[in-house]
A and B are shown apart, each in its own frame.
Chain A
Amino acid sequence: MATRKRPLSPHLQIYSPQITSVLSILHRITGVILAFGALLLANWVISATYGADSFALAQDLLGSWFGRLILFGLTLALYFHLGNGIRHLAWDMGRGFSLPQVRTSGLFVIAFTLVMTVMTWIAAYSAAGDF
């Protein structure tokens, strides 16, 4: 049966972005990014079983400007997914559903992500003695 070209209901592009919808899709996007980050972590650990040279290569690649850029992005994604994941667990327990609460917890997750990422990188640089 041929389907006639019927009008579609309002779709994504008709809505202006809101903190609720933006954080929702970011949870998915960061989740997918972190799944690839898991492969990076696996490779890092596995490289150590191939000897000092291959582990040094892995460390050098991760420590290069490009490696640091990737790791910085992964840190942001990780803290966001962690913070927002806890927000989701609260919802799963039936808490924090009113709109003001949803906005406040969303803003809190954004602040948590930024602050923790900066603090982690300050700690990493001082641990590596790069300061």
Chain B
Amino acid sequence: MEMRSHLGRVRGLGSSNDGVHHWWLQRITGVALVPLTIWFIVSAVSLAGADLEQFRSWVGAHANPVLLCLLIFTMFHHGQLGLQVVIEDYVHSETTKLLLLIVTKFTAILFGGYSIFAVLRLTFGG
């Protein structure tokens, strides 16, 4: 017999203790990536064979630095959320799983942070 109240069960947020937070973030980042990705493909196509000067002026122009930073942030966020699910589904050793999850998250933060910093540098010079 279930001894817990409905409220108590909802507050516990299920077996992950996290409710639908992960699932919801994956959808929201996915929705945000639809326009960002389309914008990026159009831009990347025009940058085929560009040199540094052309690249720099594209990165710094108008809303481009903002969109590029948002793309990088959302892409790495969405990517690490997805890889987390794949790892949790297929890796059954607790140690390997934990290690892979940490590597995934650290890599996403490192490359995401570094490339956003690179965009700011290219925009503001230095």
Contact = CB atoms under 8 A, between A and B. Distances in A.
Given A41-B115, A56-B52, A78-B41, A48 B82 contact: no
Given A35-B83, A55-B51, A120 B45 contact: yes
B45 to A, nearest CB: 5
A86 B34 contact: yes
Interface residues of B: mostly helix, strand, loop or mixed?
helix
Interface string A21-46: 00000001001101100110110011
24 contacts: A28-B86, A35-B82, A38-B75, A42-B72, A45-B59, A45-B72, A45-B119, A48-B52, A48-B56, A48-B59, A48-B122, A49-B122, A63-B48, A82-B34, A82-B37, A85-B34, A89-B30, A120-B45, A124-B48, A125-B48, A127-B45, A127-B48, A128-B49, A129-B49
Interface of A: 28, 31-32, 34-35, 38-39, 41-42, 45-46, 48-49, 51-52, 55-56, 59, 63, 75, 78, 82, 85-86, 88-89, 92, 120, 123-125, 127-129
Query: Which 9 A-B residue pairs are closest in the complex by CB-CB distance?
Result: A128-B48, A42-B115, A35-B79, A42-B111, A52-B52, A128-B49, A55-B52, A124-B45, A46-B118
